[in-house]
Amino acid sequence: MTRKLLILLLAIVPALMAAQELDCRVTINSDQIQGSNKQVFSTLQTSITEYLNNRKFTNQTVTQQERIECSVLIVVNGYDEANNMFNCELTLQARRPVFETSYTTPLLNMKDNNFNFKYAEYDQLEFQDNSFSSNLTALLTYYAYLVMGWDADTYAKMGGTPYFQQCENIVSNAQSASIEGGEMKGWKAFDDHRNRYAIINNLMDDAFKPLRLYFYEYHRLGLDMMSANVDNGRAAIAKNIEVLRKVNRARPETALVALFLDAKNQELTDIFTKGTPDEKKNVYQILFDVDPTRINTYEKIKQ
């Protein structure tokens, strides 16, 4: 009987490990908050870690190796203990492996300056798809789906759409919920061209389809092909990089071009320092036009 039970457990545990989509490292930084009782921040870090890593967000079967690597840093700028209110900034990073290499490419490197929520120590983090009960779980679930969608777009053309639709639903529920003040920041339409509403609005807008298709070309036809032929992979990345400039000129304040380059500026520089003269000239000019604040980084392409 004991042996049968052990065999059953060995069969169940891998299935449980394969159920979740994210492999996320969570850090809470409360250095700015005065006081000796830091337990609530430790409890919050544990709760968020368990929520992101143990929750099954989709019906897909995901192996341990397929889980998306990401990290979340939450800096607590203010804490109202009486009202359980946290005013925070979130930094989110995500990455994915490149085919047949040990290299992982950055997908997202973004910041949310309005990551504000109510949380009482030992609160259970729960989320319902079609209702809004907690700003914290809405925020966490939004970013979980954003990471999954961004990752999926790099493996299949427009592959992230189902995940982005979930983000869109969360934004809609947040806008109709009875929240206000700091918790409402980030969900408002047209309040900020890089807030949560703006990001998902861009991703679901057909005008940005060429840019999302470039995400696929960059990763599957470019990076993933470099293990077989570096020059062909680099050429695939250079082929349609003009889309960054076209989209930026059509929508100068779009969040998507900025998010792409926040993650990819150093990688693009490293790739094209080894490019052909024509590739160097073309890519440098496009990046200079689209992202002039990082000109010192892109100058290395010309060297």
Strands annotated E in the chain: 22-29, 68-80, 85-97, 104-118
Overall pTM surpassing 0.75 (yes/no): yes
Distance CA 234, CA 241 (A): 11
Q: Is 139 found in the same domain as 211?
A: no
Distance CA 166, CA 106 (A): 23
- Whether 62 and 14 have beta carbons less than 8 Å apart is answered as no
Domain assignment present for 272: yes
Domain end point (choices 121, 138, 167): 167
Region of 158 on the Ramachandran plot (φ > 0 left; ψ -120 to 50 alpha; else beta): left
Instruction: Calculate Rg over the CA atoms of the chain.
Output: 21
Residue 48, judged by CB atoms within 10 A of its CB (0-12, 13-18, 19+), counts as: buried
Domain assignment present for 220: yes
Domain end point (choices 150, 167, 184): 167
- Whether 195 and 250 have beta carbons less than 8 Å apart is answered as no
Q: Is 160 found in the same domain as 16?
A: yes
Instruction: State pLDDT tens for residues 65-96.
Output: 899 999 999 999 999 999 999 999 999 999 99
Domain range enclosing 234: 205-303
For residue 176, what is the enclosing H or E element? helix 161-176
Q: Is 60 found in the same domain as 209?
A: no
- Count Cα neighbours of 270 within 13 Å in the Cβ-side half-sphere: 8
Instruction: State pLDDT tens for residues 255-282.
Output: 999 999 999 999 999 999 999 999 999 9
Q: Is 138 found in the same domain as 3?
A: yes
Q: Is 148 found in the same domain as 14?
A: yes
Give the per-residue pLDDT at 178. 85
Q: Is 160 found in the same domain as 261?
A: no
- Whether 3 and 48 have beta carbons less than 8 Å apart is answered as no
C-alpha dist (Å) from residue 284 to 232, 241, 271, 303: 19, 11, 12, 11
Domain end point (choices 115, 139, 167): 167
By residue count, the chain amounts to: 303
Give the per-residue pLDDT at 181. 86
CA proximity to 85, closest of 11, 152, 136 = 136
**How many structural domains is the chain composed of?**
2
CA proximity to 195, closest of 185, 182, 186 = 186
- Whether 271 and 280 have beta carbons less than 8 Å apart is answered as no
What parts of the chain have a pLDDT lower than 70?
A: 1-19, 36
Q: Is 152 found in the same domain as 274?
A: no
Q: Is 154 found in the same domain as 11?
A: yes
What is the full DSSP assignment across 186-219? TTSTTS-TTSHHHHHHHHT-GGGHHHHHHHHIII
Give the per-residue pLDDT at 210. 97
CA proximity to 116, closest of 188, 25, 201 = 188
Give the per-residue pLDDT at 36. 67
